[in-house]
Amino acid sequence: MLEAFEAFVGVNFWTMIFAWCNLLILYLFLRKLLFNPVKNMIDSRQKEIDDMYTEAEKSREDAAVMKADYEEKMNRANEESEEILKKAVRRAQLREEEILHDANDKAARVMKRAEEQVELEKKRAINEVKNEVSDMAIDIASAVIERDVSRKEHEALIDEFIRTMGDS
C-alpha cells in the first residue's frame, strides 16, 4: 500500500514532461481560440469607448463654441436693439421739435393775419367814421350857413380838417 501511495504522491519524470506538454498545448489552444478573440473583443470595446469619449469631448467643445457664439450674437443683438431704440427716440425728438416749430410758425402767421385783419378793420372803421362825420358836418354846415355849398366842396373841407386833426 505504501507503494501505491508512493506512486500516487511521487514524482515521475515522464509524467511531468507529459503534463508540461499538455499544459503547453492547452495554453496554445486556448490562446488561439479564447485569449486572442477575447483580447480582440476587449480591444475593440476599448476603442469604441475611447471613440465615444473623443466624440463626447468634441461635442462638448462644439457646444462651448456654439454657446460662446450664441452669447456674442445675443450681446450684438442687444447692442443693436439699444442703438435702434436710441435712434428711434432721437427721431421722435426731432419730429417733436419739427412739429413744435411748425405749430409756432403757423401760430405766428395766424397772429400776423389777425393783426393785419384788425388793422384793416380799424382803417375801415376810421373811414366809416370819416364818412359819417363828413355827412354830419355837411348837414351841420348847411344848416348853419344856409347857403348852398356843393357836396364836393364840403367833403374836401372835411377831409382836409380830418387830416389836419389826425396829424396833430
In a domain, 1, yes or no: no
In a domain, 38, yes or no: yes
How far is residue 18's CA from residue 24's CA, in Å, rounded to a whole number? 10
Least confident of 37-41, 79-83, 98-102, 127-131: 127-131
Q: Are 156 and 138 contacting, i.e. CB atoms less than 8 angstroms apart?
A: no
Q: Are 145 and 116 contacting, i.e. CB atoms less than 8 angstroms apart?
A: no
How far is residue 20's CA from residue 13's CA, in Å, rounded to a whole number? 11
In a domain, 105, yes or no: yes
pLDDT for position 133? 73
pLDDT at position 139 over 70: no
> What residue has cell string 364818412?
131
In a domain, 36, yes or no: yes
As for how many domains the chain has, the answer is: 1
In a domain, 5, yes or no: no
> What residue has cell string 504522491?
9
pLDDT at position 20 over 70: yes
In a domain, 56, yes or no: yes
pTM for the predicted model, two decimal places: 0.41
Q: What is the DSSP letter of 32?
A: I
In a domain, 93, yes or no: yes
pLDDT for position 74? 96
In a domain, 8, yes or no: no
Domain that holds residue 31: 14-167
Amino acid 58 reads K
